[in-house]
Amino acid sequence: MQRIGLLTSGGDASGMNSSIRAVVRKAIYHGLEVIGIRRGYSGFIEADMGPMNLGSVADIIGRGGTILHTARSERFKTKEGRALAMENIQRFGIQGLVVIGGDGSFTGASILHQEYGIPMIGVPGTIDNDIAGTDYTIGFDTAVNTVVDAINKIRDTATSHERTFVIEVMGRNSGNIALAAGLAGGAESILIPEIPFNIEEICQKLLRGIKRGKLHSIILVAEGAASGIDIGRQVKEQIGFDTKVTILGHLQRGGTPTAFDRILAARLGAKAVELLMAGETNKMVGIKAGEIVATDLTEVIGKPSPINKNMYELAKILSI
């Protein structure tokens, strides 16, 4: 193998640039050429790609987002679109592919591999931490720290005004961000899609807190569990609390990646290059118990990563 392609796809996640840097420099160290594909699979179809060198990835390790940009491509989902992408892959002499993204990104790469035999390795990059085969995905730790910082600041206001605040966080159908940030930030209630909740129980918990002299409360809601606005309205209707709602939204995606995300991204990116050089394909690199591992994509795509129920129970105990 002499030349590999590299792309980021799906939602951006802080740490992707660290992984891009690792792939490029690891590949060049071993004498490989790297072609950067811009805007995900759209770049394949539109031939929006070009060579990357050591200077291409200078000073990007601390930047959020992705220098290769990212986009979703409806055309790539069609057989005709993938055929055009393969023509450009051959035109640029790409012999292997590293895809940094989530479940949808891996699905596209796996289909391309099945149809045309192009070797590919996936690197998990998503703030949701919802991919099987890895304990952590690139961007999750940074997103959690962003939410914890928001909780700390909102708690100051909540204490000053003696109010209940509802904070809605991202995660699609996964409650991992809400659970980790809620435990780290001391939220009184954490609502996640994996575990049913009862609004009356939440309200009774708030009342018990008031009776023992508590001046404020934070309810953390994963977007896949409920709307923060709806939760705030229900709390006010049931017990009359003056409830304020904050929706953090895409604030959680960007920002300087944490040291953890930078290191994880670098290790995963470098391992992806090693696997391609060793002739491996249709696999995803991940981290399990601190060690970098490779898992067949058939065991990853469409397989949700289960929530840590022990962590959830601990958060409930500590927020009494």
Instruction: Judge if 3-139+257-299 and 141-254 fold alike in CATH terms.
Output: yes
24 labelled binding-site residue: yes
- What is the per-residue pLDDT across 32-53, written as a single tens digit (0 to 9) for each? 999 999 999 999 999 999 999 9
73 labelled binding-site residue: yes
87 labelled binding-site residue: no
| Calpha distance 45→37 (Å, rounded) | 10
Instruction: Reply yes or no on whether 12 is catalytic.
Output: no
- What is the per-residue pLDDT across 140-167, written as a single tens digit (0 to 9) for each? 999 999 999 999 999 999 888 888 999 9
The confidence score (pLDDT) of residue 203 equals 95
**Do residues 257 and 179 touch, judged by C-beta distance below 8 A?**
no
262 labelled binding-site residue: no
Phi, psi of 182 (to 5 degrees): -65, -40
* SS3 state of residue 238: helix
213 labelled binding-site residue: no
Say which of 12, 128, 130, 261 is annotated catalytic: 128
The confidence score (pLDDT) of residue 158 equals 87
The confidence score (pLDDT) of residue 162 equals 82
The confidence score (pLDDT) of residue 72 equals 83
The confidence score (pLDDT) of residue 320 equals 81
**Do residues 205 and 189 touch, judged by C-beta distance below 8 A?**
yes
The confidence score (pLDDT) of residue 256 equals 97
- The CATH fold assigned to 3-139+257-299 is Rossmann fold (3.40.50)
Class of domain 141-254: alpha beta
49 labelled binding-site residue: no
- The low-confidence residues of the chain, meaning pLDDT below 50, are none
Give the predicted TM-score (pTM) of the model: 0.96
Domain boundaries, given as residue ranges, for the chain: 3-139+257-299, 141-254
**Do residues 98 and 120 touch, judged by C-beta distance below 8 A?**
yes
The confidence score (pLDDT) of residue 125 equals 97
The confidence score (pLDDT) of residue 190 equals 98
